Amino acid sequence: MATDDSVSASARGATFLILLQMGSRALTFALNQILLRFLSPELLGVSVQLELFVISTLYFARESLRIATQRRSDGGVQAAINLSYLSIPAGGLIGFTLAQVYLRTTLPDVPNLHVAMKIAHFACMIELVSEPGFVAVQQNMLYKVRASAEATAVVMKTLATAGLVFWSRYNSVDLGLLPFAVGELAYSASLNVVYLSQTRATARSKGFALLPRKIESSPDVSYAFGLFSKPLLSLSLSLYLQTGIKYVLTEGDKYLITALATLKDTGMYALSANYGGLIARMLFRPIEDSSRNLFAKLCADMPDGNASEKPKTVKEKTVGPEPRFQQAATVLQDLLRAYGIMSLIAFAVGPSAAPLLLNLVAGPKWSSTGAGEVLGTYCYYIPLLAINGVSEAFVAATASTKDLRRQSIWMGVFFAGFAGSAYAFMQVLGHGAEGLIYANCVNMVLRIVFNLDYVKSYFSERNVDFDMASLLPSPYAIAATAVVPVVLSQTQKYGAAYGLLGDLLRVGGIGAFFAGFVAYSERQVILNLYSRFRS
């Protein structure tokens, strides 16, 4: 069946992405540990601002176009490629505007800041040139190509950044922010080379072009200037506001910490986000991207592309659920169950293990700044990030225009809650970087509640049973999760007597025993998940 092929392709694609991400991140992780010993929290804090500029430019230039081309197939691959070219002029305008706004604020005293901003903007434009290749890869499910492109780009970025930092230290030259900007340029250039070189053969064999090509209008689909599908354009505009609000909620932590915290706090938060986000980038993001593509294909049941429109009348409903909707529900439930089990380990062991691991890999220079405690707090945020990511992927893939408008309104409410809690935790209670993580947790919980309410409603309208209670781990595993932090606290004096190694063995031993207990408590769920994954 076509649905089975889609599920299989998405599973293989996610696996390729995860494995290559792990390989590339292993190399970059090793280099970054050396790099951290040459950087101060303040310089790392400024690099966060540069990265925020790059992420903002790329997101607002292309995200709504990407989601629109995944959700609709009007005009096929060529129409999607044509639409992707709109991201290039959009990126030029958005990047220029953001750079001007940033450069007119109170700037940190860092060498080569203006030059770094110009290089970063140029890197954004280079990366957007690769967007047609990315779209071709997504439309044809060429996940190996995407995995190799992203892995190569990450490695080249790290080598370029680390190489310049080491050179500057060896020659006693203060390059300031320049190594980070050159790293962004290396990333975008590598992405371009791999995408465009690997998709040319596919374009020839499947009869589409990587350059814009005119398409004749039909009774079903009309094209602006003979290039851009009007339904796709309309959907992109509808998604733009929604994705913009989502971006503010996703990246708002960086804006808030820039505005409310010192550069030292910003640097500690950046370190925690980089380490904590390592799991998200290696594991959760590939799954989120692949599942969003899968959900869009399984649930695209309406001719006009509004996959989640309610059936018009009761008579039009089938007696039982359509297999593809049942399959989508099963995939989503499996992912949420797996994330729920992993969350228990992160909640119970992460806050105690994180400071010790940071001391081991980054050295006492960083652990003495309080970054270890910040990283420990970040362990509460990672599972929420994962659950929100996959549930929000389902919403993005299936929501109608009406649902997207409703989501945009609620996201505005969530942002108000996020900003208010961030101010309370950081300014009123004085928790600094940890306060921002608490605010992020509040934000994620609100978004997860909204997403799961939408999921429940969506499947209910299609006669598919989506049991929320089945997503929860067993009571025994939840009870053990509450006990483990107490045990770790009470045994702290025993490990401390043997230094860092003793603490690592103590936390690792208790964590391993707890993980084994959770696996035993959830053995039936784990076996079912493994069986379905293998099949």
Kindly list the distances between the CA atom of residue 383 and the CA atoms of 339, 342, 376, 390, 456, in Å, as whole numbers in the listed order.
7, 7, 13, 11, 21
- 229: β partners: 223
Contacts of 220 (CB under 8 A, 6+ apart): 74
**Structure tokens given for 503:** 């603490």
Rounded Cα–Cα distance for residues 128 and 125 (Å): 5
Which 8-state DSSP code applies to residue 111? T
CA dihedral 122, 244, 224, 309 (to 10 degrees): 150
pLDDT at 123: 95
Tokens read off for 430: 């004085």
Q: What tokens appear for 132 in the block?
A: 């047609």
Q: Are 267 and 2 in contact (CB under 8 A)?
A: no
Q: What's the rounded Cα separation, in Å, for the pair 361 and 153?
A: 24
CA 287 – CA 15 distance, rounded (Å): 8
CB 87, CB 65: distance < 8 Å: yes
Q: The tokens of 31 are what?
A: 């280099």
- How far apart CA 167 and CA 174 sit, in angstroms, is 10
**Helices and strands (DSSP H and E) totals, the chain:** 20, 2
For 95, counting Cβ atoms within 10 Å of its Cβ (0-12 exposed, 13-18 middle, 19+ buried), the class is buried
Give the C-alpha separation, 21 to 153, whole Å.
Answer: 11
Dump strand ranges (E) for 298-452: none
The DSSP secondary structure of 74-91, one letter per residue, reads TTHHHHHHHHHTTHHHHH
* N residues, the chain: 535
Q: Find out whether 420 and 357 touch, Cβ atoms under 8 Å.
A: no
182 Cβ contact partners less than 8 Å away, ≥ 6 residues apart:
119, 160, 161, 164
Which three-class secondary structure state does DSSP give residue 171? coil
- Non-local CB neighbours of 274 within 8 Å, separated by 6+ positions: 32
Rounded (5°) CA angle 62-397-450: 105
SS3 225: coil
Q: What is the DSSP code string of 423-452?
A: HIIIIIS--HHHHHHHHHHHHHHHHHHHHH
What pLDDT sits at residue 250? 67
Q: What per-residue confidence (pLDDT) applies to 359?
A: 80
DSSP code per residue over 336-399: HHHHHHHHHHHHHHHHHHHHHHHHHHH-HHHHTTTHHHHHHHHHHHHHHHHHHHHHHHHHHHH-
pLDDT tens, N- to C-terminus, the chain (535 residues): 455 555 555 555 556 556 655 655 566 666 666 666 677 666 777 787 888 899 889 999 998 888 888 766 666 788 888 889 999 999 999 999 998 888 877 666 778 888 999 999 999 999 999 999 998 888 887 877 887 888 889 889 988 988 898 888 888 888 888 999 999 999 999 999 999 888 888 888 888 888 888 888 777 778 888 888 888 888 888 788 777 777 776 676 667 766 776 767 777 777 777 777 777 666 777 778 778 878 887 887 544 444 444 444 444 444 556 788 888 888 899 889 989 998 999 899 988 888 888 888 766 666 666 778 888 888 899 889 889 989 988 998 888 878 877 887 888 788 888 888 888 988 888 887 888 889 889 989 999 999 999 999 999 888 888 888 888 888 999 999 999 999 988 888 776 667 778 888 889 899 999 999 999 988 888 888 778 776 6
pTM over 0.85: no
What would the two tokens of residue 90 be? 């959009």
Q: What is the pLDDT of residue 31?
A: 63
> What is d(CA 201, CA 204) in angstroms, rounded to the nearest whole number?
5
CB 356 within 8 A of CB 366: no
φ/ψ of residue 229, rounded to 5: -60, 125
